[in-house]
Structure 1
Amino acid sequence: MTSEPVRVGDAVWPGTNAYVQWFVPVDPRPVSVLFVHGGGGQGSDFVTTPDCRPGWVHRFLRSGYATYVLDRPGHGRSAWNDNVLGPAVPASNYHALYPRFVEPAQHRLWPEASKHTRWPSDPLAGDRFMASQGPMAVTLAASQLHVEAVAAQLFELTGPTIIVSHSMGGPCGWALAAIGGDQVEAVIAVEPLGYPRMVHPLGTFNNGMVTTEYRGRHDPFARPIALVTGEATWMREANSRAADYLRVKAPTFEHFLLEEHDITGNGHMLMGESNSDEIADIMIRWLDRVLARDLR
């Protein structure tokens, strides 16, 4: 998917573009699932775990959902081009990410970090995770604008869909829902970044769950919404504030604090941790309930 080519001087490049991979079962449900990755990650975060198990894509696929995996513009299989997307924050290094994703219990940068036990035991899992991390936009507003530019073509592919977003993909998910309108049946925000008036190095959340105005004309919260938070993540307080906001905005809302469902020890990278299938199953059961209710 790409917007109009961009000309700078005598050079012409493809416009804002994104890569989408999809998997469709033999007899799919009438609604698909769209996965929106976070930060400097990529769509492959949902396809395979860092210890090489099938990821959430395959769990949803086995439950009958066609799954669409987005590499946001400038991420994964959609290469970053400063001339089109603007400047980028360089890819993070081991020192920045290991204490937050791979080894929280060793570094204890936040109170719940000591509970982290779910990073895969495969000794190469951390290296594989780091290899997947690339650059990202210098502002959250730019990241939002990038996905908004490809949204119309994206929804042509997915048809009626459920957005499953993660971390910095959370604001992008809300922006997509504002464009998709009735095509977006539900949103599952997995440890989404942001809450109203949150100050972040890449922007202040001056527009509820995003930092800037939406290009879409629809209410992004006018559908069932679930928020998922791990026991050992640094996102717990921020997610609690987001839940307070979403509980008022959404017609149906549920905040899954995983330890309350006997799923313990999880950090921020829920789709890649050792019990990722259990977490996917909670989300699938919730969708079965809310979508069946909406169809009655």
Structure 2
Amino acid sequence: MPFELADFGGTFLTSAPVRDGDHVSPGINAYVQWFIPVGRRPMSLLLVHGGGGQGSDFIRTPDGRPGWVHSFLRAGYATYVIDRPGHGRSHWNNRALGPTAPAADYDALYSRFIEPEKERLWSDAVAHNRWPADPLAGDRFMAGQGPMADSLASSQRHVEAIAEQLFRMTGPTIIVSHSMGAPCGWALSALGGENVAAVVAAEPFGYPGMVHPLGVFDNGLVSTSYQGHHDPFARPIAVVTGEATWMREANARAAEFLRARAPVFEHIRLERHGITGNGHMLMSESNSDEIAGLMVRWLDLNIPS
């Protein structure tokens, strides 16, 4: 179904420049792109990408189909897509952001994201069959991978630094996060308070006590204290998990934590809704439209109009 845009564009959110002796460089910044449909809903929607990815992950799939942005626009949401600090169009600046983790390579990501059914590093991987058939899809996915912070705490602090400007732009919004973007989403929720109507965490990274080379989850679903003073979980929340991902146990532990805290909570296991064969990159796989449609229906049921 086509949609008509009233506006689209993008801008950088910035913080104070960093001074190092006589050298002045940009501070923490993020790029935000927006798409405003005609007849928009009063609530907007913010897409927060994961790990070494970028906001373009949500705009088109690696085989060229319309991405989740299109699905949310068709549903009437003004949609904002962030390149988190140091990702995508917000280039990495060591003076402001600190050091990076080692870059992920084909060996690391193909076995978990693209073709886990071949390596079978976990039992459910055998069910994976939703990566796009286009032979260039994997290369396009890898082309979008870049550096990320060398700690979860740093990633959280980076996004907290631009949160005030971000919420002035989005107004009341729904956060849809993916993977390592989930801790940033919880941090944004703690800062946004009533501005955040709901959170949908797709394949969220982390659970209480999880130990990872980039940090330990010592503060529930994040690794460090929140800069915000609002309860990040005091709103409807959904966790979305694929049938064939390695995240199933981790997502179940996160869901147990959230179920006791959110006023409305659902752990959406896609196969229980007839959506099968999905790995970790839900927005990139061949049935991405079905997944987005399920999210829209969940939001319609659980957020007051």
Is the partner of 2:32 in helix, strand or coil?
strand
Residues 244-275 of structure 1, C-alpha deviations (whole Å, 9 max, x = no match):
00000100000000000010000000000000
Runs of at least 5 residues in structure 2 that lack an aligned partner in the other structure: 1-12
Within the candidate set 200, 218, 221, 2:233 is matched to: 221
**Matching residue of 1:50:** 62
Residues 67-98 of structure 1, C-alpha deviations (whole Å, 9 max, x = no match):
00000000000000111100001321101100
Residue 288 of structure 1 aligns with an amino acid whose one-letter code is D
Is the partner of 1:79 in helix, strand or coil?
coil
- 1-side partners of 2:24 and 2:228: how far apart? 28
- Which aligned pairs between 1:173-212 and structure 2 lie closer than 5 A? 173-212=185-224
TM-score, normalising length: structure 2: 0.95
Residue 72 of structure 1 aligns with an amino acid whose one-letter code is R
Residues 136-186 of structure 1, C-alpha deviations (whole Å, 9 max, x = no match):
000000000000000000001100000000000000000000000000000
- 2-side partners of 1:91 and 1:288: how far apart? 39
Within the candidate set 51, 54, 59, 2:71 is matched to: 59
Is the partner of 1:189 in helix, strand or coil?
strand
The structure with more helix, counted as a fraction of residues: 1
Residue 139 of structure 1 aligns with an amino acid whose one-letter code is S
For these two proteins, the number of residue pairs brought into alignment is 293
- Which aligned pairs between 1:82-97 and structure 2 lie closer than 5 A? 82-97=94-109
- 1-side partners of 2:240 and 2:59: how far apart? 19
Alignment root-mean-square deviation, CA: 0.6
**Matching residue of 2:162:** 150
1:122 matched to 2:149: no
1:288 matched to 2:300: yes
Residues 181-239 of structure 1, C-alpha deviations (whole Å, 9 max, x = no match):
00000000001001111111100000000000000000000000000000000000000
**Matching residue of 1:32:** 44
- Which aligned pairs between 1:260-275 and structure 2 lie closer than 5 A? 260-275=272-287
Within the candidate set 21, 28, 35, 1:9 is matched to: 21
Residues 12-37 of structure 1, C-alpha deviations (whole Å, 9 max, x = no match):
11110000000000111000000000
- 1-side partners of 2:181 and 2:255: how far apart? 16
Runs of at least 5 residues in structure 1 that lack an aligned partner in the other structure: none
- 2-side partners of 1:58 and 1:185: how far apart? 21
Residue 291 of structure 1 aligns with an amino acid whose one-letter code is I
- The question of whether the paired residues in 2 share the 8 Å contact of 1:90 and 1:134 is answered with no
